[in-house]
C-alpha cells in the first residue's frame, strides 16, 4: 500500500524559468512529511512533480528522477495517468465534482479507465473510504445528495475519501486546510494522523504550527529572491527543524523572523 | 475628533456633514440605471407580445374561412407538410452540427496548442459572420451538383430504407442538401458558445479529475461536460432557432415540392422558405394563411425553448450553483 519516494537531482522548469533547483530527498513510507517555506519558494510546484500534476500547466517540465519504491516516475513510457492513480492528490480548495452525489464522488476515481465494480463492492468501498476520511457518520443518510452541499471541511474530507478510494500508495496534500475554519482544520489534521498508518502522506502548508502538529519530517524550502529558483534548504525530523535547525534561514523562518 | 473652531474652514463647512455618512455615489444615477434596465426588460416582453398579437390577429381569418378559399382545402392539410419539412431539415442540421461543433469547441478549448486554438477560434467566428444568402448560393451551385453521386449511391445501397428511396434527385436540390447547408451555417453558433463555456470549467475540478488518474478524455467527461451541459443545450437551442427560421439558404438550395419521405428526392418545404417564396404575391386569405404558418413556426420555436429549459432545470440541484 504505502511506498517510499526518492527524489534525485530534480529540477523543475516553467518554460525557460527554473522554478525549483536540484532537490534531493527521501520520503519514508507510512510517514507524514511537511513542506514549509515562504510563498513562491516552489514547494507546491515540487509537490506537483511527485505525481506529475505540474504537467497540466503549460510549459512546465521536470528533469531528474522521482523513484517510487525504486520505480522512476519519469522513466521512458511511464504514463502520467497511471502515476496519478498511484499517487493521489488533495488540493488547496475542496473540489468535489459538483454534478455528482457524495457516493458518486467517492467512486469517481474507481470507475475510471472503464473499470467495473459490483454494487455491493461499491457500497463497501464507499463506506470504508468515508469511514477512512472520518466522514461516514455525517453523510451516511444522504449519500445521494450532491457533494457540493456539504460544508467546506466536509467537502475536503470527501475529497480525501475520494483519493483513498482508489487505494493509492501516496497522498499529496497541497495546503489542504488553507480554505477551512479551525474546527474543520482540526478534523483534517486528525485524519492525517490516521492516514499515515496506511499511506505515505506529503503535505504542503503555510501554517508552521500545522507542520509541527502533523508531520514526522519537515522540509524547508526557500528562495533567494524573485526570479531565483526555489531550493530545499533543510530536511530533517520535524522536532529538529523547529527546535534545533542547522541552517540560519530555517531558524529565521520558523521563529517568525521572516516569511 | 477635535473641537471645531468658530472660524469657518471653507465654503463647505464640515460641521453640517459630519454627523451623516459621507455622500458616496449618486442615488439618482442608481435609480436612472435601474429604470433603464427595467425598461429594457419590459421592452423585450412588449416586442414578444406584439409579435404574438400581430400573428394571431392576421392569422384569424384562416380559421373562419370557407374551405374552398384555402390553398389546400383545410389549414391543417396545408400546414402539416411544412411542420414536417421544417423539423426534418432542422434535425438533419442539428445531427450534423452538434457533434462536430462540440468536437471543434473541445479541440479549441482543451486539445489545441494556444496559437492554433486562437487561429481556429477566429476562423469559426468569421464563419458565423457569412451571410446566409452566400451559404445558399454555395449550396445550390457547388454542393448540390457535387453531392448527386453520393445520393445515387445511397439510393442504390440503402434504397430499401424509406428515407433513402430512389430515384435520387439529379440536381441535388433536396431536403438533405438543405439540412447539410443549414448544419454548416449553425456550426459556428454551437462551436463559439460551447468553446466559451468549456474554457470556463473550473481548473480545480479538472485537476481533481486528473489527480485521480483520469485521462484527458475522462477528465472532459467528468468535469467539462457536466459543467457545460446547460450551455451545450442552450447553444443547440439557439442553433435550432436559426435552423428553424432560416429562409434564404433553404429557398436557394431546396427544390421544394409536396411532402415525401425520401430525403434524397426533390420535394418537401420549410415554413420560412414557403413564406418567403409566396409572400410577395399573396393577398387576402392567402396572406392570412402564410401568416398563420408563421404563427405555427413561432409556436414550435417556443415549445422547443420550453423543452430545453425543462431539460436544463432537471439538473439544477447538481449544477454546482448551490
- pLDDT of residue B319 exceeding 70, the answer is no
Burial class for B168, CB neighbours closer than 10 Å (0-12, 13-18, 19+): buried
The closest CB to that of B222, out of A58, A108, A163, belongs to A108
User: Other CB atoms closer than 10 Å to residue A57's CB: what's the count?
Assistant: 13
Contact status of A152 with chain B (Cβ, < 8 Å): no
- pLDDT of residue B9 exceeding 80, the answer is no
Q: Which residue of A has its CA nearest to B230?
A: A99
Residues of B in contact with A101 (CB under 8 A): 318
Cβ–Cβ of A85/B114 closer than 8 Å? no
Residues of A in contact with B318 (CB under 8 A): 98-101, 146
- pLDDT of residue A175 exceeding 60, the answer is yes
Q: How far is A255 from chain B (nearest CA, A)?
A: 33
Report the interhelical angle of A182-195 vs A152-165 (nearest 10°).
20
> Strand pairing of A230-237 and A17-27?
parallel
Q: What is the CATH number of domain B60-319?
A: 1.10.3720.10
At B217 the pLDDT is: 92
Per-chain mean pLDDT for chain B? 85
Comparing B262 with A22, the larger pLDDT belongs to A22
Q: In the structure, what pLDDT confidence band is assigned to residue B322 with cuts at 50, 70 and 90?
A: very low
Cβ–Cβ of B212/A148 closer than 8 Å? no
At B20 the pLDDT is: 64
At A211 the pLDDT is: 92
d(CA B264, CA B152) in angstroms, rounded, equals: 9
At B17 the pLDDT is: 46
The closest CB to that of A89, out of B114, B211, B222, belongs to B211
**Is the whole-model pTM more than 0.95?**
no
Contact A163, A109 (CB under 8 A): yes
Q: In the structure, what pLDDT confidence band is assigned to residue B91 with cuts at 50, 70 and 90?
A: very high
Cβ–Cβ of A99/B202 closer than 8 Å? no
The closest CB to that of A99, out of B210, B215, B318, belongs to B318
Please give the interface size between A and B, counted as residue pairs whose CB atoms are below 8 Å apart. 85
Q: Which residue of A has its CA nearest to B208?
A: A95
User: Other CB atoms closer than 10 Å to residue A139's CB: what's the count?
Assistant: 22
Give me the mean pLDDT over the A240-251 stretch: 91
- pLDDT of residue B85 exceeding 70, the answer is yes
Contact A4, A200 (CB under 8 A): yes
Contact B147, B172 (CB under 8 A): yes
Burial class for A54, CB neighbours closer than 10 Å (0-12, 13-18, 19+): buried
d(CA B57, CA B53) in angstroms, rounded, equals: 6
> Closest Cα partner for A34 from A167, A224, A253, A209?
A209
Contact status of A50 with chain B (Cβ, < 8 Å): no
Give me the mean pLDDT over the A113-134 stretch: 87
Q: What is the pLDDT of residues B194-217, one digit of tens each?
A: 998 999 999 999 999 999 989 999
Q: How far is A100 from chain B (nearest CA, A)?
A: 7
Residues of A in contact with B218 (CB under 8 A): 112-113
Contact status of A33 with chain B (Cβ, < 8 Å): no
Contact status of A95 with chain B (Cβ, < 8 Å): yes
The closest CB to that of A95, out of B204, B229, B318, belongs to B204
> Closest Cα partner for A199 from A231, A251, A160?
A160
- pLDDT of residue B189 exceeding 80, the answer is yes
Contact status of A159 with chain B (Cβ, < 8 Å): yes
Whether the upstream peptide bond of residue B306 has omega within 30° of 0, thus cis, is no
d(CA A195, CA B152) in angstroms, rounded, equals: 68
Q: What is the pLDDT of residues A226-235, one digit of tens each?
A: 888 999 999 9
Chain B residues whose C-beta sits inside 8 Å of any chain A C-beta: 114, 202, 204-215, 218, 222-223, 226-227, 229, 315, 317-320, 322
CA B298, B303, B304, B306: dihedral to nearest 10 degrees? 130
Give the 3-state secondary structure percentages of chain A, helix then strand then coil, rounded to 5: 35, 25, 35
Q: In the structure, what pLDDT confidence band is assigned to residue B18 with cuts at 50, 70 and 90?
A: low
- pLDDT of residue B276 exceeding 80, the answer is yes
Q: In the structure, what pLDDT confidence band is assigned to residue A104 with cuts at 50, 70 and 90?
A: very high
Phi and psi at A88, nearest 5°, equal -80, 165
Q: What is the pLDDT of residues A201-220, one digit of tens each?
A: 999 998 889 999 999 999 99
Give me the mean pLDDT over the B254-265 stretch: 83
Contact status of A5 with chain B (Cβ, < 8 Å): no
At A259 the pLDDT is: 58
User: Which residue in this structure is represented by grid cell 504550527?
Assistant: A209
Per-residue b or e along A22-41, where b marks 16 or more CB atoms closer than 10 Å to that residue's CB: ebebebeebbbbbbbbeeeb
Looking at chain A, the whole-number percentage of residues with pLDDT higher than 70 is: 99
Cβ–Cβ of B208/A58 closer than 8 Å? no
Q: What is the pLDDT of residues A182-199, one digit of tens each?
A: 888 888 899 899 898 999
At B241 the pLDDT is: 86
- pLDDT of residue B10 exceeding 70, the answer is no
Q: How far is B318 from chain A (nearest CA, A)?
A: 4
Residues of B in contact with A59 (CB under 8 A): none
Q: What is the pLDDT of residues B153-176, one digit of tens each?
A: 988 888 888 888 878 888 888 999
- pLDDT of residue B318 exceeding 70, the answer is no
Q: What is the pLDDT of residues B99-139, one digit of tens each?
A: 999 999 999 999 988 889 889 888 888 888 899 899 999 99
Contact B166, B148 (CB under 8 A): no
Q: Which residue of B has its CA nearest to A84?
A: B213
Task: Give the CA radius of gyration of chain B.
Answer: 28
Amino acid at each position: 500500500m504505502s511506498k517510499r519516494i526518492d527524489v534525485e537531482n530534480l529540477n523543475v522548469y516553467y518554460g525557460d524559468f527554473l522554478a525549483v533547483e536540484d532537490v534531493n530527498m527521501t520520503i519514508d513510507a507510512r510517514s507524514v512529511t511537511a513542506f514549509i517555506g515562504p510563498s513562491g519558494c516552489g514547494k507546491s510546484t515540487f509537490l506537483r512533480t511527485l505525481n506529475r500534476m505540474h504537467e497540466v500547466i503549460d510549459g512546465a517540465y521536470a528533469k531528474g528522477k522521482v523513484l517510487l519504491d525504486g520505480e522512476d516516475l519519469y522513466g521512458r513510457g511511464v504514463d502520467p495517468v497511471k502515476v496519478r492513480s498511484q499517487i493521489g492528490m488533495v488540493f488547496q480548495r475542496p473540489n468535489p465534482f459538483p454534478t455528482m452525489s457524495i457516493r458518486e464522488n467517492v467512486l469517481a476515481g474507481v470507475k475510471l479507465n472503464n473499470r467495473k465494480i459490483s454494487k455491493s463492492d461499491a457500497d463497501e468501498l464507499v463506506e470504508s473510504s468515508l469511514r477512512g476520511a472520518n466522514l461516514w457518520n455525517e453523510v451516511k443518510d444522504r449519500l445521494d445528495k450532491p457533494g457540493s452541499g456539504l460544508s467546506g471541511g466536509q467537502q475536503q474530507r470527501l475529497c480525501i475519501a475520494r483519493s483513498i478510494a482508489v487505494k493509492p500508495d501516496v497522498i499529496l496534500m497541497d495546503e489542504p486546510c488553507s480554505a477551512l475554519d479551525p474546527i474543520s482544520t482540526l478534523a483534517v489534521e486528525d485524519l492525517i494522523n490516521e492516514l499515515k498508518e496506511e499511506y505515505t502522506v506529503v503535505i504542503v502548508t503555510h501554517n508552521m504550527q500545522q507542520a509541527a502538529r502533523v508531520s514526522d519530517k519537515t522540509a524547508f524550502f526557500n528562495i533567494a529572491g524573485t526570479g531565483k529558483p526555489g531550493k530545499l534548504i533543510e530536511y530533517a525530523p520535524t522536532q529538529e527543524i523547529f527546535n534545533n535547525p542547522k541552517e540560519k534561514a530555517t531558524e529565521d523562518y520558523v521563529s517568525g523572523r521572516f516569511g | 475628533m477635535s473641537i471645531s473652531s468658530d472660524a469657518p474652514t471653507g465654503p463647505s463647512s464640515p460641521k453640517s456633514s459630519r454627523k451623516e455618512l459621507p455622500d458616496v455615489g449618486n442615488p439618482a444615477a442608481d435609480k436612472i440605471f435601474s429604470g433603464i434596465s427595467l425598461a429594457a426588460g419590459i421592452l423585450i416582453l412588449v416586442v414578444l407580445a406584439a409579435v404574438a398579437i400581430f400573428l394571431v390577429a392576421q392569422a384569424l381569418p384562416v380559421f373562419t374561412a370557407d374551405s374552398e378559399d384555402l390553398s389546400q382545402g383545410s389549414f391543417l392539410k396545408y400546414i402539416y407538410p411544412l411542420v414536417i419539412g421544417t423539423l426534418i431539415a432542422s434535425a438533419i442540421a442539428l445531427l450534423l452540427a452538434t457533434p462536430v461543433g462540440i468536437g471543434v469547441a473541445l479541440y479549441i478549448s482543451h486539445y489545441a496548442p494556444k496559437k492554433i486554438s486562437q487561429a481556429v477560434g477566429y476562423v469559426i467566428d468569421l464563419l458565423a459572420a457569412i451571410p446566409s444568402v452566400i451559404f445558399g448560393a454555395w449550396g445550390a451551385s457547388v454542393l448540390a451538383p457535387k453531392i448527386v453521386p453520393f445520393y445515387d449511391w445511397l439510393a442504390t445501397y440503402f434504397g430499401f430504407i424509406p428515407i433513402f428511396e430512389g430515384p435520387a434527385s439529379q440536381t441535388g436540390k433536396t431536403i438533405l442538401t438543405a439540412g447539410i447547408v443549414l448544419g454548416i451555417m449553425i456550426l459556428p453558433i454551437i462551436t463559439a458558445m460551447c468553446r466559451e463555456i468549456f474554457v470556463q470549467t473550473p481548473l480545480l475540478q479538472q485537476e481533481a479529475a486528473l489527480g485521480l488518474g483520469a485521462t484527458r478524455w475522462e477528465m472532459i467527461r467528468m468535469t467539462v461536460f457536466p459543467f457545460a451541459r446547460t450551455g451545450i443545450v442552450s447553444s443547440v437551442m439557439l442553433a435550432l432557432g436559426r435552423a428553424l427560421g432560416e429562409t434564404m439558404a433553404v429557398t436557394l438550395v431546396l427544390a421544394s415540392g409536396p411532402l415525401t419521405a425520401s430525403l434524397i428526392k426533390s420535394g418537401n418545404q420549410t415554413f420560412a422558405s414557403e413564406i418567403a417564396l409566396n409572400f410577395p404575391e399573396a393577398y387576402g386569405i392567402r396572406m392570412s394563411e402564410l401568416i398563420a404558418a408563421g404563427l405555427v413556426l413561432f409556436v414550435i420555436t417556443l415549445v422547443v425553448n420550453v423543452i430545453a429549459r425543462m431539460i436544463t432545470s432537471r439538473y439544477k440541484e447538481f449544477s454546482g450553483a448551490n
